[in-house]
């Protein structure tokens, strides 16, 4: 059985980059935080969602994508964000910030509630085009990341791996982590066969990710 190599995504051409720039030049606004399926906004546009464990840099990535500092707020208390947060990106797109996962101190009942809500959302949202699973470039795929990937597999939602904090890792160490991540992704049929390398702090990979999102229509 052959496995996909999961290469790093190639740099987009200038036309693709411009399309991404235009999409994210529009205004970004927080819409609402959702704790149950009946609270979801009307599915009147495409949406992409972002999933990641504690301290992976999810809020920083969303803020970097939109160019709006403080749009997605990083909590100092891991596990506080227990809602699915919706943001508009212009009139065409929802950016969806899924509840963080992998919090050692979260009560079992809270974790079960998150998992149930995530499963219902991922399985039932027809306008959802892609999930982006954020993986810390310093640590690679952890068991808790594999759990969310299994959930995406079972929900038949295509997900793409976005490596965060790439600027924090030396080139030699990065290759080891990439090899580990590729091995983990190869076990998941819903995994999109390209990896995006990003640094929200330096801006690396952000135009590429904007371009990818803009071409999901």
pLDDT tens digits for the chain (217 residues)?
445 589 999 999 999 999 999 999 999 999 999 988 999 999 999 999 999 988 899 999 999 999 998 898 765 544 445 789 999 999 999 999 998 776 556 677 877 887 888 899 999 899 999 999 999 999 999 998 998 999 999 999 999 999 999 999 998 899 999 999 999 999 999 999 999 999 999 999 999 999 999 999 7
Q: What is the value of pTM for the model shown?
A: 0.93
Please calculate the CA angle 169-141-103 and round it to the nearest 5 degrees.
100
Put the strands of the sheet holding 128-136 in their side by side order.
28-34, 84-89, 93-97, 46-52, 128-136, 159-164, 196-197
């Amino acid at each position: 059985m052959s496995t996909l190599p999961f290469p790093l995504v190639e740099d987009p051409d200038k036309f693709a980059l411009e399309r991404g720039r235009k999409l994210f030049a529009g205004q970004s606004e927080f819409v609402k935080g959702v704790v149950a399926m009946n609270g979801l906004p009307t599915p009147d546009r495409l949406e992409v969602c972002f999933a990641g464990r504690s301290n992976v840099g999810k809020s920083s990535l969303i803020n970097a994508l939109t160019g709006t500092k403080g749009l997605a707020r990083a909590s100092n208390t891991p596990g506080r964000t227990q809602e699915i947060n919706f943001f508009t990106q212009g009139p065409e797109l929802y950016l969806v910030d899924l509840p963080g996962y992998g919090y050692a101190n979260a009560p079992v009942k809270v974790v079960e509630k998150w998992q149930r809500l995530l499963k219902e959302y991922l399985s039932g949202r027809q306008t959802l085009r892609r999930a982006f699973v954020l993986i810390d470039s310093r640590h690679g795929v952890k068991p808790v990341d594999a759990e969310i990937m299994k959930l995406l597999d079972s929900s038949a939602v295509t997900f793409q791996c976005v490596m965060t904090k790439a600027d924090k890792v030396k080139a030699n160490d990065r290759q080891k982590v990439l090899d580990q991540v590729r091995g983990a992704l190869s076990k998941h049929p819903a995994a999109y066969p390209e990896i995006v390398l990003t640094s929200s702090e330096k801006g690396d990979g952000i135009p590429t990710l904007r371009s990818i999102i803009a071409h999901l229509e």
